Amino acid sequence: MSTSNDTPPKPVPNDPQLIEFVIKELKKGAMPADVAYEVCRRAGVQWPEAEAFVRPFAQERQRQRRQKPKPIVGLLVFIGIALVVGVTGVVVLKTSLERRSVAPLIYEAVTPTDSPFKSDRFYRERWVEAGQTILVNYDVSMRSGHLNLYVSEKWSQSDTKGLYDMSREDQLFTLTKDGRGQLKYPVTDTGWYGLRVFMTDFTGRCEVAWEVR
């Protein structure tokens, strides 16, 4: 939780080059979470600020894919978003996410007192079609703590606000000891799905990777 002594999070700068980068990457088909990570790295901001910065561009890109508008119309809409986009500051706990070629989520902590993931969540999102299966591969070396894995639908095709639908969140697995394995989650509805990781007093290492088949 934040306190009066917490330093406000750094906002994403309204940099035309950064906006151009986000738009180009989304047009190439990059996942919003991957683009947000690059925004974190390039602008030196926290994940929630980067995600909020990328979200309206990603939503507009998805709308364009459904409606297939003329290129000039899409460009004007993107420019409009760039002019009005703003980021609401949120104080969050610091994370240390490492990205690899297979795009796993890596969590490492030393002690429960300084764990950056104490009572925190992190997730990655993907667009998944109905009938596909989300495969979750996990490898945990835990000395203490508690770990839950969730799959949740972030927003549906009809919801353009990008709000979390927590009622659609399903717990996949609870882990209280060391282990590795694979979980399968069949998807019945098309939409954005997020793989969420919830840790409490976590000490050790957790690698979670997921794919869609």
pLDDT at residue 19 is higher than 80: yes
Question: Residue 48 CB: number of other CB atoms within 10 A?
Answer: 17
The verdict on pTM exceeding 0.85 is no
**CATH code of domain 105-212:** 2.60.120.200
Q: How far apart are CA 6 and CA 75, in angstroms?
A: 39
Query: What is the enclosing helix (H) or strand (E) of 82?
Result: helix 71-84
Mean pLDDT of 105-134: 56
Cα dihedral across residues 59, 185, 107, 109: positive or negative: positive
Residue 46 has what pLDDT?
Answer: 80
DSSP state of 13: P
Per-residue pLDDT of 37-88, as tens digits, reads 888 888 888 888 888 888 888 887 777 777 654 555 555 555 555 554 443 3
Lowest-confidence region among 22-31, 49-58, 105-114, 146-155? 105-114
- CATH 2.60.120.200, the chain: domain bounds: 105-212
Q: How far apart are CA 76 and CA 64, in angstroms?
A: 12
Cα Rg, the chain, nearest whole Å = 18
Higher pLDDT, 30 or 133: 133
pLDDT at residue 89 is higher than 70: no
Q: How far apart are CA 112 and CA 71, in angstroms?
A: 51
Residue 34 CB partners (closer than 8 Å, separation 6+)? 25, 103
Residue 154 has what pLDDT?
Answer: 64
